[in-house]
Amino acid sequence: MEKKRISLADLDLLKKSFRQSGLHTVCQAAKCPNIGECFKHKTATFMILGDVCSRNCAFCATTHGKPLDIDKEEPSKLANTIKNLGLKYVVITSVTRDDLFDGGAEHFKNVVNKIREEIPSIKIELLVPDFKGEEKSIDIVLYSKPDVFGHNIETVPELYKFRKWADYNRSLNVLNYAKKKGFITKTGIMLGLGETEEQLLNVFKDLKRIDCDILTIGQYLKPLKDNADMVKEYSNEEFEYLRQKALDAGIKTCVSGKYVRSSYFAEETYQFAESKLE
């Protein structure tokens, strides 16, 4: 089904509406290369819990430092904005909030519940931090019953020096825990930080082992001068080759391409993954 588009002239108005409501989109905060395309399709990935991350990953453009207090009105603001935009599928993510006792899990649940209260038929995909691996926090999020539970592993374990305070096996465990609870799981990885093909193939095997349903593969593009350098730019043929390798490894759904990000064509990817489970 073709998505309803808005005019280019309305793009600035859409961005302005986000700012006025106090809402944040990861599309803007992380300088996503697909921002124009997705906004024209009236889709966006909303970022809750503020726009200041408590971690400082070397590849990320999101502001880091001491996060602000939680906006208790954010669930209502977000639900109203989504309703006014007429969206049927939304992606909700957040900065990492290690400063909060539950990592922000309760706020995630409140956001999902409020959106569903206003729009019962909506599909909701979450892209969550690792919650330091705390199963109690993950359970709080899962209690809201998202249609897709996402958590990005970002890169191969050998390059986790770029993910400050993160842990590869912890991220795998977060995805595995949600899958064992019966949820569709999704993760994403960036290419170009210096990984090898063998390392990527090992990641694909790990994702198959935990039965991860959806994998996105995209090109790392250095967002700011202080971020990590891009070591390699992959060709379209290489992205297709790795997509096929991921499928050969047993991953059900893989979207791969230079400008692919975890929420790119999220609705279509979810529908395809869901059909695979039927």
Beta strands of 179-258 (E only): which ranges? 185-191, 214-219, 253-256
Q: What pTM did the predictor assign?
A: 0.86
Give whole-number Cα distances, 137 to 105, 166, 270, in Å: 5, 16, 24
- pLDDT tier at 65, thresholds 50, 70, 90: confident
pLDDT digit string, tens, across residues 173-205? 999 999 999 999 999 999 999 999 999 999 999
Give whole-number Cα distances, 67 to 35, 46, 112, 145, 199, in Å: 25, 17, 22, 27, 34
Kindly report the number of other CB atoms within 10 A of residue 241's CB atom.
14
C-alpha closest to that of 8 among 43, 44, 39: 39
Asked if 112 and 146 touch (Cβ cutoff 8 Å), the reply is yes
**Residue 97 CA to chain centroid, in angstroms?**
15
Cα distance between residue 228 and residue 239, in whole Å = 21
Q: What residues does each domain of the chain span?
A: 8-277
pLDDT digit string, tens, across residues 89-139? 899 998 878 788 999 999 999 999 999 999 999 999 999 999 999 999 999
Of 34-48, 67-81, 123-137, 226-240, which has the strongest mean pLDDT? 123-137
Average pLDDT rounded to a whole number, residues 32-50: 63
Asked if 175 and 210 touch (Cβ cutoff 8 Å), the reply is yes
189 CB-contact burial (10 Å; exposed 0-12 / middle 13-18 / buried 19+) = buried
Class of the CATH domain delimited by 8-277: alpha beta
Asked if 129 and 97 touch (Cβ cutoff 8 Å), the reply is yes
Residue of 62 and 58 predicted with greater confidence: 62
